Amino acid sequence: MSAPLLQVQGLTKRFGGVAAVNQVSFDLAPGRIVGLIGPNGAGKTTLVNLITGVHRADSGSLQFEGRDVTQQRPFEAACRGLSRTFQIVQPFPRMSVLDNVTAGALFAGKAASPAQARADAMAQLRFVGLQALADRPAASLTLPSRKRLELAKSLAMRPRLLLLDEVNAGLNSAEIGAAIELIRAIAAQGITVLLIEHLMKVVFSLCDDLLVLHHGELIAQGSPQAVAADPKVIEAYLGTKYAERMRA
């Protein structure tokens, strides 16, 4: 068995008297698609912020590829191969689609030159299906296209771990289906994916493993089938009827 790509041990973050993340521990194996689920306010985005250096943990540790990265800053995380998307997509609106992605390739993707960064960026735009819009201002894109732009920016950083924060929010059924196939194609490149997601049809069709947060604590982890049968998860999140459908 290969060594974990990411090891999270006893991670805790408090805001005032509230423990947004409380003693969370888990390992991420390389090459997996892992879903991070739980009710609103469970601490999912805070956990991703801790992993990527947006917040500093009050206690606990993070190891990425065997190196302690507990105190890293966001740019250091990006340069090490931890890349992310955001739930609220915010491209550089006045820059072109291509220039948005080039920025990621140049500053975190270790491109050797601006010309190489542009070439890498265009390759990612082709991968996500936005090459025809490369010269458009990012502000002109529709929501589904902005979501794809966010993915292209993250992929231009050449991540080994990609953290996706509700990439399907606001999309219709056809757009969600296309996003699922795109995430599968990303994982097929050998990139490990940690996916925050509320749509259970996405989670159960896409994820190899699940992590379940509730009130900042990790209450379950394992295969989607095992998690769907866990009484704590049923009570906190899925509900009896949905869990029965999943088991069926």
Q: What is the DSSP string of 36-84?
A: EE-STTSSHHHHHHHHTTSS--SEEEEEETTEE-TT--HHHHHHHTEEE
The structure tokens 């002109």 sit at: 140
CA–CA gap between residue 85 and residue 172 (Å, rounded): 19
Range of the domain at 75: 1-81+161-248
- At which of 141, 158, 175 does a domain end? 158
Q: Are residues 73 and 165 in the same domain?
A: yes
Q: Are residues 178 and 239 in the same domain?
A: yes
Q: Are residues 70 and 174 in the same domain?
A: yes
Q: Is the CB of residue 134 less than 8 Å from the CB of residue 125?
A: yes
pLDDT for the residue numbered 3: 87
Domain count, the chain: 2
The structure tokens 């993250």 sit at: 154
Q: Are residues 148 and 53 in the same domain?
A: no
Q: Give the Cβ contact number of residue 214 at 10 Å.
A: 19
Q: Are residues 8 and 103 in the same domain?
A: no
**199 SS3 class:** coil
Q: Are residues 126 and 166 in the same domain?
A: no
Which amino acid, residue 3?
A: A
pLDDT for the residue numbered 240: 67
- At which of 123, 158, 193 does a domain end? 158
pLDDT for the residue numbered 87: 84
- At which of 127, 158, 189 does a domain end? 158
The CATH number covering residue 44 comes to 3.40.50.300
CA–CA gap between residue 156 and residue 168 (Å, rounded): 20
**165 SS3 class:** strand
pLDDT for the residue numbered 234: 86
Q: Are residues 74 and 165 in the same domain?
A: yes
Q: Are residues 175 and 206 in the same domain?
A: yes
* Burial class for 11, CB neighbours closer than 10 Å (0-12, 13-18, 19+): buried
Residues of the chain scoring pLDDT < 50 = none
CA–CA gap between residue 20 and residue 18 (Å, rounded): 6
Q: Are residues 96 and 42 in the same domain?
A: no
CA–CA gap between residue 133 and residue 126 (Å, rounded): 10
This prediction's pTM: 0.91
Q: Are residues 107 and 136 in the same domain?
A: yes
CA–CA gap between residue 10 and residue 179 (Å, rounded): 33
Q: Are residues 73 and 1 in the same domain?
A: yes
Q: Are residues 55 and 165 in the same domain?
A: yes
